[in-house]
Amino acid sequence: DTGVSQNPRHKITKRGQNVTFRCDPISEHNRLYWYRQTLGQGPEFLTYFQNEAQLEKSRLLSDRFSAERPKGSFSTLEIQRTEQGDSAMYLCASSLVYGGINQPQHFGDGTRLSIL
Amino acid sequence: RKEVEQDPGPFNVPEGATVAFNCTYSNSASQSFFWYRQDCRKEPKLLMSVYSSGNEDGRFTAQLNRASQYISLLIRDSKLSDSATYLCVVTVPRFNAGGTSYGKLTFGQGTILTVHP
């Protein structure tokens, strides 16, 4: 399967713990996005990478959140000192810019985070 | 006001029915428009792009009215497999340091459709 891969699929942890999620985009895609989705809502943009550069961060991304894409391939999203409000589905998407045009984004299955 | 607003439904329709979803967006600079489909506990998948002239893909027809900032999706001859959440999505032009536009998607909350036998 050459789609966007995310792991783990599910993460249950106690409040105050740190968690890290991983996203492997489609291999030739140079753009990678993180979104968060809570129940009954559409996904909300968190941050975006062009290759290894993080070019925009949403105000939703507090200082407890950090994302990296060290070699311009896979990305990690870390949440420190988790809070109950962090419980959500974290979605990764990737896309290819070609000829100056951003092609459609393809989403991974997401990581569902539950904070006890 | 939310950037993208949809009627959350749920819509419950029998097989074979025609159903229409509406969506409004607040930013007049919005440039690209899409409908995504999301099955329960699955990732969003692109259903179709929406073009100014309107476009059709089989049983699905999408319309865009830029003056009213309104997007619609019409599903004809509904199938059981059409049951899902339909997400209205827009992008506003945003440019990175290199001057290249990138696509930050802004989603509506989704409209739930259930098609029953």
Per residue in B91-103, pLDDT tens? 877 666 666 556 6
B7 part of contact set with chain A, CB < 8 Å: no
Q: Which of A55, A56, A107 sits opposite B44 (nearest CB)?
A: A107
A107 part of contact set with chain B, CB < 8 Å: yes
* Residue B105: Cβ-neighbour burial (10 angstroms; 0-12, 13-18, 19+): buried
| Residue A1 predicted with pLDDT over 60 | no
| Residue A96 predicted with pLDDT over 90 | no
- Once rounded to an integer, what is the mean pLDDT over residues A29-46? 93
Q: Which of B49, B98, B107 sits opposite A42 (nearest CB)?
A: B107
What are the pLDDT tens digits along chain B (117 aa)?
789 999 888 999 999 999 999 999 999 888 889 999 999 989 999 999 998 888 999 999 999 999 999 999 999 999 999 999 999 999 877 666 666 556 678 999 999 999 999
Contacts of A112 in chain B (CB under 8 A): 41
CA dihedral defined by A105, A109, A111, A116, rounded to 10 degrees? 130
B69 part of contact set with chain A, CB < 8 Å: no
B110 and B87 Cβ atoms separated by less than 8 Å: yes
Check residue B92 and give its pLDDT: 78
B45 part of contact set with chain A, CB < 8 Å: yes
A45/A39 Cα distance (integer angstroms): 15
Check residue B55 and give its pLDDT: 93
B4 part of contact set with chain A, CB < 8 Å: yes
- Once rounded to an integer, what is the mean pLDDT over residues A37-48? 93
- Give residues 32 to 51 of A whose Cβ lies within 8 Å of B: 33, 35, 40-45, 48, 50
**Three-state secondary-structure class, residue B10:** coil
State pLDDT tens for residues A55-91. Answer: 888 888 889 999 999 988 999 999 999 999 999 999 9
- The minimum CA-CA distance between A45 and chain B, rounded to whole Å, is 7
The per-residue pLDDT of chain A, averaged, comes to 92
- The pLDDT-based confidence of A13 (bands split at 50, 70, 90) is very high
A105 and A80 Cβ atoms separated by less than 8 Å: no
Check residue A56 and give its pLDDT: 86
